[in-house]
Amino acid sequence: MIYKDLLSSIGNTPIIKIKNIAPKNINLFVKAEYFNPGGSVKDRLALSIIEKAEKEGFLKPKQTVVEATSGNTGIGLAMVCACKGYPCVMTMPDSTSIERRKLMRFLGAKVLLTPASEGTTAAYNLAKKLCKKNKWFYAKQFENDANADIHEKTTAIEILNDFKELGLDYWVSGYGTGGTFSGVSRVLRDQSPKTKLVITEPENAQLVNSLIAQKRNQDGSPASAHDSWNPHPIQGWTPDFIPLVLQESIDNNYFDINIPVTGEDGIYWSHQLATNEGIITGISGGSTFAVAMKIADEAPNGSNILCMLADTAERYLTSALFEKIDSEMNDEEKEILSSI
């Protein structure tokens, strides 16, 4: 297929059936969002936010775009801005992977780091200050309606179309901004009411479980951090506040089950997907898949389960995901070499 430009290739990502590690008599699928051109699900929201701002006149030609990010949204925005000719500046905690920072800079973005000990809130506040001082366009992924709307218009419709004949019993997703979960769940709740909507979050940062009754602040900013949040290794998931985009799902009971997951389980299942299925996904993808496997172990025979894989493993080479992967030959490899 020939595309008119790179941005036209965003979306329509494949759904892949798990062949080797799924429980018997269960149909387990993953939606591989790393097939987007920027390598993650956040390409969708990046394009949606920029094009909405252009249409409504909030983003002027050559105006700088600023955003707080853990990485994937920043990469997506840097890619979109490079295509459209906007300068961009990203703010992010200094605990995020080096690969993400370099990818954003490779795409022409400026990256400003904030202390990891201050959570995503510090990066969020810095982006707001930069926007106010310089009159830049602030993308506001955690609050922007365009985030969830693009998943309602694209991701959810892709899922409905792909499972039109099979039917879908469970849909599993984590949350970062909440855009994927809110946008897809509002459609599945309406058009596929038998589908169980499963949300997941880090076991040591259970904001949804502990703050389900909390409402957004009167000034429209995200809900504040809570004692239940702790730093976790699942980059891209669960900042230290409840994003307004996710609040919709909480307010409207858009999920049926919340199953927390440990970072260790996420790393384990990311490795299992790679070595047994050839699927290269990051820690968040492994974590979502860990929950899908828990569902699969208890689901009725013949159940159809879909799990979201947000991004690719290649942007975690310096993270815990690759901590036990050797860069030099190990003993087994040396033994093979010496046997020649």
Mean pLDDT of the chain: 93
| Total residue count of the chain as it appears in this document | 340
Lowest pLDDT segment from 117-131, 148-162, 180-194, 283-297: 117-131
CB atoms within 10 A of CB 60: 11
> All domains of the chain, ordered by start, with CATH?
6-36+155-322 (3.40.50.1100), 42-138 (3.40.50.1100)
Rounded to whole angstroms, how far apart are CA atoms 49 and 214? 26
CB atoms within 10 A of CB 51: 16
Rounded to whole angstroms, how far apart are CA atoms 267 and 264? 5
Question: Would you please indicate which residues are annotated as catalytic (active-site) residues?
Answer: 42, 284
Parallel, antiparallel or unpaired: strands 27-32 and 15-17 = antiparallel
Segment 116-130 shows an average pLDDT of: 91
Digit-coded pLDDT (tens) for 84-110: 999 999 999 998 889 999 999 999 999
Q: Which residue has the higher pLDDT, 109 or 249?
A: 109
